[in-house]
A and B are shown apart, each in its own frame.
Chain A
Amino acid sequence: MFGYWWNKSRPTSDNSNTPARLADAPALQQAIGYLKRNVGHKVLVEANFRAFRQFSEQLTQHQIRLIVIEGQVHPDARRACDTDGMQQTTRQRLTELAVEHRFTFVPSADLPEFSAADFADAYHLNPTGRRKLSSFLAACLIKLTD
């Protein structure tokens, strides 16, 4: 049941001085295959969007500040799945929802640039990528709590 998670979840050492592990071809292909099988399912998209709408509404009602950051994807996976159109639509919907529910939406354009060297597979970051994302997140948190 949890094979997928286990396969994707080998921990890597944060303290190592060795270069970050790059996405190896089989892992990348497997993850791309997974994406291809799953993206674009209209029923799921709408169900998840409805759930997310409720979720953000709930947080707003409880005065909890929500910040939504667009996800990062390996450049090869992005090309293989041809996701630009879907991403644009999602971005648009989230931008509108962000105004309606008063949450902050950070599109990928505002994120640090992730190259192939930052990924462990199609969407999991390796230590270098994690550091990059964490650095961005830390800066956001510091700014928010100042």
Chain B
Amino acid sequence: MSDQAVMTYLDESELPYFFCPGCGHGVITDHLNAALVKLQLDPHKVVVVTDIGCSGLADKYFTTNAFHGLHGRSVTYATGIKLANPELKVIVLMGDGGCGIGGHHLINAARRNIGVTVVVFNNFNYGMTGGEHSVTTPPGGFTSSTPFGQLEYPMDICQTVAVNGASFVARMTSFDKGLPDLLAKAIQNDGFSLVDIWELCTAYYVPNNRFSKSLLENTLTSLNLSTGVVHQATRAEYSRAYRQSVADEAGKATLTSHPILPHYRSNLDRRMGIIIAGAAGKKINSAATLFCRGAVLSGLWANQRNDYPVTVKSGHSVSELILAPKEIGFSGITKPEVMLLLFKEGAFTVHTQLAAMNEQDIIFINSDLLPVKTKAKLIPIDFTQTGRWVSKKEYWSIIALSKYLSDMQIYPLEAFKEAVSARSEFAEDNLAAIEAGEKLC
């Protein structure tokens, strides 16, 4: 940027404004320009983000960067821009319509205190589509979609963002001389700012309601609303707060490769399907992953497909495992060779696979779940014989997998022990559970 002062941020070649005669939008645009001139910001470091509606025409007049986005979403683009590059001054121009359809984004931008300035061109109706009512249409107001008068209560945009964490909130009318200074203050605020500017829509709201400057001011009074700064707070600005909160993470190793070096041997010479039918919250999936890790340590290929409902701590949890001496293709199991039937929740969901099993197949079954109708060979596990593990159901799948490995020698139990030891958090208990399973033999 040159040292010379910027006299205007408006593109003279685009003037005069395209707004209707008497519309407040041109006045607000002029005042915003005056605020920018006062602040002398580098136009390259300013992004004017506009919404849909007549106010969305305003960005074309500025010599700064511009982003004209979808209806109600302007605050989200502004948030993305500010988050990505905090040194930019981001100014959102939106109408009362945008505040309605994008109300959720306004609230959340205020909650974050993201450093953007929202300027609301509030003229109580939709000027671009034909004068329909908006979230700010005053009680009884006549619009093309409220021909019998507005029944809905008007949204207080200022209070909405103020109670949700905004750090600078002000209301003014387009007739107020102090508007450039107020806008400059809003832009300078380090956090989320909103200026709600009341104005006249000479195309619709004025003729439909014989509305005027004095009636606009009366509406403010009747709704008990004040002008000027209505709320100020000191809070950390989000894009910088985010950077501070993650500062210690910089340079840490990200998801890197954790290769598994096979150093045990398995004699498995065919694909084997194993189903663990368990219950949610009983560590079925994590036990299955450790079991797969043991298999890979033994030179096998392993696949683990989990099935569960959307609930986390209730309902079934079923892991379908495939072990094979070569790379595994199809990840489904139409007929398992082995099933660990541990909890009734899981038992309910594996009927089809259970029915498909035949005399060569084996089911390790929690003896509480007996009898069960199947052609497969049943090997009961009585968890009351496991000592302290009887009450620790989240280790039952480890115990059952250990018994299965001990009985069938699919791969060495030592490999399973090594796999559980690699996960330090529960390593000790997991190892003890493997030993408990071994003793069941």
A and B associate:
no
Interface residues of A (CB under 8 A from B): none
